[in-house]
């Protein structure tokens, strides 16, 4: 199994990393010892918990150390070779490397490494699409060659045009993300939006229904991708739908980018050959630093390149350097082994739930995540999440289709396999994890609050949390996090 180093490094690598972290923490202690102590405790806590949050992973020491450098001290607004600040030649080097690795890894004609997060990447993408598909034609219609040539009346017309575009994205309760047109999010305010869901019987995307909605709604942007949909997507079909109605296909692959990079998703399931614009985070299944990327066709590249200052603040040069390191790791053959193990382990986890009669949305998975319907245990997602945390199992509650408990309490728990796969867990361990989860939930009951039934309070049968936590610790000790690294 691929280690967390993501590059096959052994004892010497771990010893060198230990020296680096020990020295760094000694320096931090001279200024604020409580931060150093919290840092040590965070590693201890992560080592002693079953991390099953689908959007989390463990970056390599090389990636983490890259972020703690003087690149953090540089302002670098602009793009490679065209900065608004002097002395950015070294920032140019690391940003160009990050973009180069991203292009080669995903087979994309263009990559933009500046977004600070997945949400930022999506905002850059949305405004780039608006600028390319609406602003430029709008200028021509007004007889202007440059945006600075517009009169105030023309600006009013252009603002109306920019602000009245349509977006069709996956609904939050069927697996979409907040930034896919959810009304309280900025994406739901930028656009006149509509959402598509899944088949109420199977839980799968109904492409015919998506096509019918697109024909009726005629969106400028069709968004594909998900944060809690446990199945693969046919992006070739989504592109056909987009082309039929003249929409731009944007794919948010933040959750499954590692499976794309690792060639688990290929052909119609690889979004890059089919989408006009692709966004992603660099953490999650890619196992890099917290940040984002935008991949695009040449048509959209000039507008995406204006992400700063259009949407973004100053680029985080130290994080772009870490992105370059992480993407270089992902280009190694070992990463493909890791990515396939992520998918295999998620399948094992789902199978373990099914054979123990736990209800799954769509009945299983074929990506990196599993969505458990906890109403079969008589619990809300909030109660289940808390009971599992008490037992040493870190998850997150998540809405399920037509969720009766809404987006806060929810009726589901989302599980992901990337982090524990990084630790070396395989089929036997993931089956055991499903057993421990079911043991906790089967022995948890809702509890009443001061004003009657509560969606948050719960009780766990005596001894269950302690027993499960001990069993989880055995699994974790056999698969140590950052093996050989001592603080």
Give the pair of three-digit tokens for residue 279. Answer: 């966004």
Question: Does residue 157 have a pLDDT over 90?
Answer: no
What tokens does 235 get?
Answer: 């992006």
Q: Which helix (H) or strand (E) holds 213?
A: helix 207-217
Question: Alpha carbon 267 to chain centroid distance?
Answer: 21
The residue from 74, 75, 306, 344 that is catalytic is 75
Reported as a pLDDT band with limits 50, 70 and 90, residue 147 is: low
Question: Could you give the CA distance from residue 175 to residue 399 in angstroms, rounded to a whole number?
Answer: 8
Residue 148 pLDDT: 67
Q: Is 173 a residue of the active site?
A: no
SS3 of 190, please? helix
- pLDDT at 145 (0 to 100): 66
- 75 classed as catalytic: yes
Instruction: Decide: helix, strand or coil at residue 74.
Output: coil
d(CA 122, CA 308): 13
Q: How far is CA 56 from the centre of its chain?
A: 8
Instruction: Give pLDDT tens digits for 245-267.
Output: 999 999 999 999 999 999 999 99
pLDDT of 2 > 50? The answer is no
Percent pLDDT > 90 in the chain is 82
pLDDT bin (cut points 50, 70, 90) of residue 146 is: low
Average pLDDT (381-392) is 97
pLDDT at 158: 75
Token pair of 134, please? 């609406």
Distances 234 to 210, 238, 268, 275 between C-alpha atoms, Å: 12, 7, 5, 11
Q: Is 252 a catalytic residue?
A: yes
Beta bridge partners of residue 168, listed in sequence order: 194, 222
> Tokens 């492409």 map to which residue?
207
**Gap between the terminal Cα atoms of the chain:** 25
Count of beta carbons in the 10 Å neighbourhood of residue 169: 27
Of all helices (H) and strands (E), which one includes residue 278? strand 277-281
Assess whether 474 carries a catalytic annotation. no
Q: Which two tokens stand for residue 457?
A: 């309070």
**The CATH number of 72-330 is which of 3.90.1150.10, 3.40.640.10, 3.40.50.720, 3.40.50.300?**
3.40.640.10
Among 249, 178, 114, CA closest to 407: 178
Say if residue 264 is exposed, middle or buried (CB neighbours under 10 Å; 0-12, 13-18, 19+): buried
- pLDDT value of position 10: 81
Catalytic residue, from 77, 154, 334, 390: name it: 77
126 flagged as catalytic: no
Both tokens of 67, joined, read 């972020």
Q: pLDDT exceeding 70 applies to what percent of the chain? A: 97
Phi, psi of 258 (to 5 degrees): -65, -30
- Is residue 1 predicted with pLDDT exceeding 60? no
Distance of alpha carbon 327 from alpha carbon 101, whole angstroms? 6
- CATH class for the domain made up of 334-478: alpha beta
By residue count, the chain amounts to 487
426: left (phi over 0), alpha (psi -120 to 50) or beta: beta
Torsion of CA 66, 70, 72, 77, to 10 degrees: -110
Would residue 372 be called left, alpha or beta, if left means φ above 0 and alpha means ψ between -120 and 50 degrees? beta
Listed in order, strand segments (DSSP E) in 55-205 are 78-79, 82-83, 110-112, 166-170, 192-196
Average pLDDT value over all residues in the chain: 93
Is the bond preceding residue 309 a cis peptide, omega within 30 degrees? yes
Model confidence at 135, in pLDDT bands (50, 70, 90)? confident
Mean pLDDT over 352-371 rounds to 97
pLDDT attached to residue 30: 97
281, 362, 380, 395: which is the annotated catalytic residue? 281
Q: What is the pLDDT of residues 269-308, one digit of tens each?
A: 999 999 999 999 999 999 999 999 999 999 999 999 999 9
Choice among 290, 306, 356, 457 that is catalytic: 290
Average pLDDT score over residue span 202-210: 96
Compute CA 252 distance to the chain's CA centroid, rounded to the nearest angstrom. 9
* Residue 197, φ and ψ in degrees, nearest 5: -120, -150
Where are the strands (E) in 303-427, listed by range?
A: 369-373, 393-394, 396-398, 412-416
The answer to whether the beta carbons of residues 5 and 60 sit under 8 Å apart is yes
- pLDDT at position 3, please? 46
Q: What angle do CA 347, 348, 354 make, to 5 degrees?
A: 90
pLDDT-derived band of residue 151, with 50, 70 and 90 as boundaries? confident
Active site residue 201: no
Which has the minimum average pLDDT: 161-175, 176-190, 364-378, 405-419? 176-190
Q: Are strands 221-225 and 166-170 parallel, antiparallel or unpaired?
A: parallel
Q: What is the pLDDT of residue 137?
A: 79
Can 72-330 and 334-478 be said to share one CATH topology? no
Q: Are 275 and 239 spatial neighbours (Cβ–Cβ below 8 Å)?
A: yes
- The residue from 284, 382, 423, 455 that is catalytic is 284
Instruction: Tell me the Cα Rg of the chain.
Output: 23
Q: What is the pLDDT of residues 48-82, one digit of tens each?
A: 999 999 999 999 999 999 999 999 999 999 999 99
Query: Which is the catalytic residue, given 95, 120, 252, 351?
Result: 252
Lowest mean pLDDT among 150-164, 196-210, 384-398, 401-415: 150-164
Which residues on adjacent β-strands are paired with residue 195? Answer: 169
What is the pTM (predicted TM-score) of this model? 0.93
Q: How many CB atoms lie within 10 A of CB 33?
A: 11
Has residue 450 got a pLDDT over 90? no
Rounded Cα distance between 278 and 281, Å, is 11
Contact call for residues 339 and 263 (beta carbons, < 8 A): yes
Q: What are the pLDDT digits (tens) for 299-355?
A: 999 999 999 988 898 999 999 999 999 999 999 999 999 999 999 999 999 999 999
pLDDT of residue 426 exceeding 70, the answer is yes
pLDDT in tens, 91-125: 999 999 999 999 999 999 999 999 999 999 999 99
**Tokens 């202690």 belong to residue:** 29
Q: Indicate the domain borders of the chain.
A: 72-330, 334-478
């Amino acid at each position: 199994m691929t280690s967390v180093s993501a590059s096959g490094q052994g004892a010497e690598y771990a010893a060198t990393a230990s020296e680096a972290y020990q020295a760094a923490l000694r320096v931090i202690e001279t200024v604020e010892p409580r931060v150093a102590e919290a840092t040590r405790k965070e590693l201890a806590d992560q080592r002693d918990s079953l991390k099953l949050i689908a959007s989390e992973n463990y970056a390599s020491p090389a990636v983490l150390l890259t972020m703690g450098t003087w690149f953090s001290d540089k302002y670098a607004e602009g793009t490679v070779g065209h900065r608004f600040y002097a002395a950015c030649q070294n920032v140019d080097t690391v940003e160009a490397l990050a973009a180069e690795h991203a292009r080669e890894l995903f087979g994309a004609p263009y990559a933009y490494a500046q977004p600070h997060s997945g949400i930022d990447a999506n905002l850059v993408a949305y405004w780039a699409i608006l600028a390319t598909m609406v602003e430029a034609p709008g200028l021509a219609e007004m007889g202007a060659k440059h945006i600075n040539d517009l009169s105030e009346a023309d600006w009013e017309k252009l603002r109306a045009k920019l602000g009245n575009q349509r977006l069709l994205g996956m609904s939050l309760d069927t697996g979409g993300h907040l930034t896919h047109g959810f009304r309280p999010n900025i994406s739901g305010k930028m656009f006149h939006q509509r959402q598509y869901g899944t088949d109420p019987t199977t839980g799968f995307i109904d492409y015919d229904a998506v096509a019918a909605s697109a024909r009726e709604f005629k969106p400028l942007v069709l968004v594909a991708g998900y944060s809690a949909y446990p199945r693969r997507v046919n992006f070739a079909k989504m592109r056909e739908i987009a082309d039929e109605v003249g929409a731009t296909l944007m794919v948010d692959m933040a959750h499954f980018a590692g499976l794309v990079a690792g060639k688990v998703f290929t052909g119609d399931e690889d979004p890059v050959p089919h989408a006009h614009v692709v966004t992603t985070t660099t953490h999650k299944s890619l196992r890099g630093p917290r940040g984002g990327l935008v991949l695009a066709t040449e048509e959209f590249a000039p507008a995406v390149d204006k992400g700063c200052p259009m949407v973004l603040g100053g680029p985080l040069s130290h994080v772009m350097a870490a992105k370059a390191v992480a993407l270089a790791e992902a280009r190694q053959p070992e990463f493909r082994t890791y990515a396939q193990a992520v998918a295999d382990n998620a399948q094992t986890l789902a199978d373990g739930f099914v054979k123990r009669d736990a209800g799954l949305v769509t009945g299983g998975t074929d990506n990196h995540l599993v969505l458990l319907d906890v109403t079969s245990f008589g619990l809300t997602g909030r109660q289940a999440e808390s009971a599992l945390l008490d037992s040493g199992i870190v998850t997150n509650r998540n809405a399920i289709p037509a969720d009766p408990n809404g987006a806060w309490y929810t009726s589901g728990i989302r599980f992901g396999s990337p982090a524990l796969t990084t630790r070396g867990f395989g089929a036997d361990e993931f089956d055991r994890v499903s057993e421990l989860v079911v043991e906790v939930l089967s022995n948890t009951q809702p509890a009443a609050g001061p004003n009657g039934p509560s969606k948050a309070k719960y009780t766990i049968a005596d001894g269950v949390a302690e027993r499960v936590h001990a069993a989880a610790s055995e699994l974790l000790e056999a698969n140590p996090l950052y093996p050989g690294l001592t603080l």
